[in-house]
Amino acid sequence: MAEEALVASPLEKYLRRPGFPTIWCPGCGIGIATGAMLRAIQRLGLNQDDVVMVTGIGCSGFIYNYLNFDGFHGTHGRALAVATGIKLANPRLHVIVPMGDGDCAAIGGNHLIHAARRNIDLTAIVINNQTYGMTGGQYSPTTPHDGLAATAPYGNVERPFDLCQVAQGAGASYVARGTTYHVLQLERLIVAAIEHKGFSFVEVVSQCPVQYGRRNQLPSAVDMLRWQQRHTVSPQVAASLSPEQLKDKVVTGELYSREAPEEEYTYRYRQLVERAQGRAVHE
């Protein structure tokens, strides 16, 4: 019965069965985010052979292992650097880069800001569970101030990144934030991100009940998803709130978009090649 249901799923063609069951803990948000990403790919009707999934290291680094696309699982933090090489070498490919918050924003932070600055046509999807799940719940660059973590037993002394502001400030031409609670919205945001010509960045506020929630009074996935439900506001609503009111809110939706395909890196590189070969109409 269950088997039949799986075969009937329109997403089945995107799954690589030998990889299952996934390594993710019960209640993990990565599967929800991955599902939204696959539905977005399905909705866009992308040629499955033209999609490359590039991952780094950590819980989200395993996404490629369950998916039926060309895939890459490399070194911690370096997914965007590898993706840049793939995209530049073969601009026809849709290069999608799922990462975690530690992977993307800590060890990989330099690559994030420079991929955004170049505005290269990659789709970065950062599944932000606010912790290093795989290594046991240490604090990450997105752990809230005062949050408890395996390496913050007295509360996190640091300030967290607003990843979307980082991406936008660095030059990303599409920036959005969704959650694993608002799955339909998340799917729409990823559709727009993949369609966008240029560096697109989607932060997925996700839950890690095992390593983060249990330490921070949100012991189950349901608790954490309810938290998302209660604390998210749209950019329109956020605009009418005071900084004080916004303090414990997460703004979700499309946060920034700049349609300028002629600013995209591989497009500009093609123009450079034409200049170098003397084929350009004018310098």
41 near another protein, judged by CB under 8 A: no
Question: Considering the complex, what minimum distance in angstroms separates the CB of residue 84 from another protein?
Answer: 5
* Distance of closest approach, residue 146 Cβ to another protein, in angstroms: 32
- Candidates 11, 15, 25, 72; binder of another protein (CB under 8 A) is 72
What is d(CA 218, CA 207) in angstroms, rounded to the nearest whole number?
10
Q: Considering only 59-67, 187-195, 219-227, 243-251, which stretch makes contact with another protein by CB under 8 A?
A: 59-67
Q: Give Rg (Cα) of the chain.
A: 19
Residue 7 buriedness (CB in 10 A; 0-12 / 13-18 / 19+): exposed
Is 169 a binding residue for another protein by CB under 8 A? The answer is no
Answer yes or no: are the C-beta atoms of 150 and 137 closer than 8 Å: yes
Q: C-beta of 21: minimal distance to another protein in Å?
A: 13
Q: Which of 54, 68, 57, 53 shows the shortest CA–CA distance to 19? A: 68
Q: Which stretch binds another protein (CB under 8 A): 54-62, 98-106, 182-190, 199-207?
A: 54-62
CB of 234 vs another protein, minimal distance in Å = 34
Cα(194)–Cα(208) distance, rounded to whole angstroms? 26
Residue at 78: amino acid letter? R
What part of residues 118-147 is at the interface with another protein (CB under 8 A)?
none
User: CA–CA separation, 250 vs 205, rounded Å?
Assistant: 9
Binding site for another protein (CB under 8 A): 18-19, 48-50, 52-54, 57, 62, 64-65, 68-75, 78, 81-86, 88-90, 92-93, 110-111, 113-114, 269, 272-273, 275-277
